[in-house]
Chain A
Amino acid sequence: MMNEPEVTNEHEKRERRMVQWVVALVLFVAVIYAVTFIKLPVWLPALK
């Protein structure tokens, strides 16, 4: 059984991890969107 400061600490750690995941995933989406615009028009026609 965790005491109160430990529970708060665990809660804060979880919140921090959540924000980190959201930021990382949103950045990932932005990178894929940008790469599709900038690089795929060059890479994919090369399949010919």
Chain B
Amino acid sequence: MTEAITTHDHPPAGIMRWLTATNHKDLGILYMSFGGLMFFIGGAFIMAVRAELLLPGLQLLSPGMYNQLFTLHALIMVFGAIMPFATGLNNYLIPLMIGAPDMALPRVNNWGFWILPFAAVLLLIPFFLQFFGIGSGASAAGWVMHNTSLDLQSGIGMDFAIFTIHLLGLSSLTGAINVVVTVLNMRAPGMTLMKMPLFVWAWLITAFMLILVIPVFSAAATMLLTDRHFGTHFFDAANGGDPILLQHLIWFFGHPEVYIVLLPAWGLIPHILATFSRKPVYGYRAQVYALWAICFLSFLVWSHHMLTSGLPLAAEVYFMYATMAISIPTSVLVFCWLGAIWRGAMTFETPMLFALGFVAHFGMGALTGMILPDVAVNAQYHNSYVIVSHFHYTFFGGGIFGMMAALYYWLPKFTGRMFDEKLGRLHFWLTVIFFNMTFIPQWFAGLDGMPRHIADYALRFSAMNFISSLGAFLLGLSQLLLVYIVVKCVRNGPKATGQVWEGAQGLEFTLPSPPPYHTFETPPLVK
């Protein structure tokens, strides 16, 4: 299909290589490492939360501390772990997949990354300062700050969170603009839009979504800041403002954000399924159109998160049906994934296991997502543990399983070494078992009426919470195996070939593993 042309290999030495990195592969590694680190920090916070919920009554945490911990867990996992990891993948892979020498704006790329550690520190500082008697702790209003009165009245933690949101938004916007400009301008000759790998398509669409919703989120955060400190009353009901307006603005960002997290995974899964089924990607055009359709619809459904906020009936019915309509393009994707493996010569290496795990668990998240926007059902389950479980089947079952599949699939390409396949499979099965052990009981607790965001609960929820907490601890512990697998792979894994996997297709697999520091300085010819 292609002729890959590679050149010299001379990365700069020492710490300056990383501080001043403009090479897309270096920045990709930085983003992914940062995402991995934050995955464990965010995970540690939720271990404390689950420890509190292990038994009824308050044992370890005050309700205020509990609220801070689940808020930080959510903010860190969404904005600090999954999104940066997916951005790392796009940085590393998009230029290789489209035959470009680098991202279009390499210095902006460096800036976009180095904002992140400062944003993370800003988010965490107020949490630790409270132990020295300074301030009242971190933001405790949840990842989308949907509790307006709490947002307006809480301490400096909220100001730090608002500042963090602006910084993260800036980082995301620079990354998104970089993706759009790179994909639209730097494709190798012959690489037409409809020849691009689905992962590139998914990221192009994700970038457009980010460009549309991040300014809304940032503006909402700025309005909150001016309400808190500069005498405006956008959201302050006591002075003629509208508290529900904040929910509208936040969810206009928050719902597309779900797809921003999921689209990169939807883009990479078809490649992995095709590789290990020894078949070409199934339904390429259908998947591209479905991704665009989901992108379009995701902007029209935000108020299904607010069905109990007193919307008029007509609006509720509209948001219910509009949300259900997303299931049509989503089903197209799922059927294409199943079509990819149908009668394929499948083998079950670790990336394939995680990809199939993704399809199964995301499927459960998506199916429950069909039920929840029903206005009558939503009135029952709003703000219950059903939502927590649905959310995690979508974000963990979809987002994290997808990222794990990608990590195992391209790790030999990144490092030039194979990982321990047996340990990889063990990691998969431990993750599946403990993930379900954590979140299936939360369905039952939620169906039984357990509200979320509370540090204590009625006795009848005890059994489900005990199992869920036990599952969460084991899920957290089992993720340490991933660290061991990656370290072992980097240190002394057997050498990987350029092709890596027997059925792998794409420009990146025409290069040696790891790829040279500079690649495609002369564009490859794509036929």
Task: Mark A residues whose CB is within 8 Å of B.
Answer: 14, 17-18, 21-22, 25-26, 28-30, 32-33, 36-37, 40-41, 44-45, 47-48
B376 CB to closest chain A CB, in angstroms? Answer: 20
User: Binary interface profile of B, 272-315, with partner A (CB < 8 Å = 1, else 0)?
Assistant: 00000000000000000000000000000001000000111001
> What residues of A have a CB within 8 angstroms of the CB of B177 in the complex?
21-22, 25-26
Q: Is the CB of B185 within 8 A of A25?
A: no
- The distance from the CB of A37 to the nearest CB of chain B, in whole angstroms, is 5
Q: Are B184 and A47 neighbours in the complex by a CB distance under 8 Å?
A: no
Residues from chain A with a CB closer than 8 A to the CB of B54 are none
Bound: A35/B147 CA distance, A: 23
Is residue B211 within 8 Å, beta carbon to beta carbon, of the partner chain?
Answer: yes
In the complex, what distance in Å separates the CA atom of A43 from the CA atom of B214?
Answer: 19
Pick from B216, B223, B234, B310: contact of A48, CB under 8 Å? B310
Q: Which residues of A contact B104 (CB under 8 A)?
A: 18
Known interface pairs A33-B218, A47-B248. Does A21 touch B223 (Cβ–Cβ under 8 Å)? no
How many A-B pairs have beta carbons closer than 8 Å: the answer is: 69
Structural contact, B180 and A33, CB atoms closer than 8 A: no
Residue numbers in B under 8 Å from A45 (CB-CB): 242, 244-245
**B426 at the binding interface (Cβ < 8 Å):** no
Question: In the complex, what residue of chain B is closest to A43 when comparing beta carbons?
Answer: B248
The residue that A41 contacts in the complex, of B215, B245, B315, with Cβ under 8 A, is: B245
Q: How far is the CA of A26 from the CA of B180 in the complex (A)?
A: 12
Q: Does B372 contact A (CB under 8 A)?
A: no
B245 touches A29 (CB 8 A): no
For B217, give the chain A residue with the smallest CB separation: A36
Given A33-B219, A36-B220 in contact, is the A18-B214 Cβ separation under 8 Å? no
For residue B212, CB closer than 8 A to chain A, the reply is yes
Verify B181–A29 contact, CB threshold 8 A: no
Closest partner residue, chain A, to B213 (CB atom): A32
Proximity bits, B104-141, A CB within 8 Å = 1, else 0: 11000000000000000000000000000000000000
Are B212 and A32 touching (Cβ within 8 A)?
A: yes
A41 and B234 CA atoms in complex are apart in Å by 7
The contact of B315 among A21, A37, A47, by CB within 8 Å, is: A47
A47 to B218, CA, bound (A): 22
B220 contacts which chain A residues (CB < 8 A)?
Answer: 36
**Of B104, B105, B214, most A-chain CB atoms within 10 Å:** B104
Interface size class of B (residues with CB under 8 A): 20 to 34
A-B CB proximity, top 3 nearest: A36-B219, A32-B215, A33-B215
> Is there contact, CB below 8 Å, between B216 and A36?
yes
Q: What would 28 A/B residue contacts be, using CB atoms closer than 8 Å? A: A17-B185, A18-B104, A18-B181, A18-B185, A21-B180, A21-B184, A21-B185, A26-B177, A28-B211, A30-B215, A32-B212, A33-B216, A33-B218, A36-B216, A36-B220, A36-B223, A37-B219, A40-B245, A40-B248, A41-B223, A44-B245, A44-B248, A45-B244, A47-B248, A47-B311, A47-B315, A48-B244, A48-B312
Q: Are B181 and A21 in contact (CB under 8 A)?
A: yes
Would you call B216 and A47 a contact (CB within 8 A)? Answer: no
A26 to chain B, nearest CB (A): 7
**B242 (CB) vs chain A CBs: closest residue:** A45
The yes or no answer to B173 lying at the interface (CB within 8 A) is yes
Enumerate chain A residues within 8 angstroms of B214, measured Cβ to Cβ.
29
Supposing A25-B180, A29-B173, A47-B312 touch, asked if A37 and B216 sit within 8 A by C-beta, the answer is no
A48–B181 Cα gap in the complex (Å)? 40
Within the complex, what minimum Cβ distance (angstroms) separates B294 from chain A?
Answer: 20
Q: Are A29 and B185 in contact (CB under 8 A)?
A: no
Q: Which residues of B lie under 8 Å from residue A14 when comparing CB positions?
A: 185-186
Q: Once bound together, how far apart are the Cα atoms of A44 and B242, in whole Å?
A: 10
CB distance from A8 to the nearest CB of B (A): 15
Distance, CA A27 to CA B245, complexed state (A): 25
Contact between B105 and A22, CB atoms less than 8 A apart: yes
Q: How far is the CB of B421 from chain A (nearest CB, A)?
A: 42
When distances are taken between beta carbons in the complex, the residues of chain B under 8 Å from A37 are 219, 222-223
- Given the known interface contacts A29-B214, A32-B212, A48-B310, the answer about A22 and B245 at a Cβ–Cβ threshold of 8 Å is no
- Cα of A2 to Cα of B211 in the assembled complex, Å: 36
Q: Is B249 an interface residue when CB atoms closer than 8 A count as contact?
A: yes
Whether the Cβ atoms of B181 and A36 lie closer than 8 Å is no
Please provide the chain B residues from 189 to 225 with a CB less than 8 Å away from any CB of chain A in the complex: 211-212, 214-216, 218-220, 222-223
Known: A25-B177, A25-B181, A41-B242. 17 other contacts (CB 8 A): A14-B186, A17-B184, A17-B185, A21-B177, A21-B181, A29-B211, A33-B216, A33-B219, A36-B220, A40-B245, A41-B223, A41-B234, A41-B245, A44-B242, A45-B244, A45-B245, A48-B311
- Distance in angstroms from A14 CB to nearest chain B CB is 6
Contact A36 B215 (CB under 8 A): yes
CB-CB under 8 A from A47, the residues of chain B are 248, 303, 311-312, 315
Q: Looking across the interface, which residue of chain A has its beta carbon closest to that of B241?
A: A41
Q: Which residues of chain B have C-beta atoms less than 8 A from A22's C-beta?
A: 105, 177, 181
For A40, list chain B residues within 8 Å (CB): 216, 245, 248-249
B219 neighbours in A (Cβ, 8 Å): 32-33, 36-37
B231 CB to nearest A CB, Å: 15
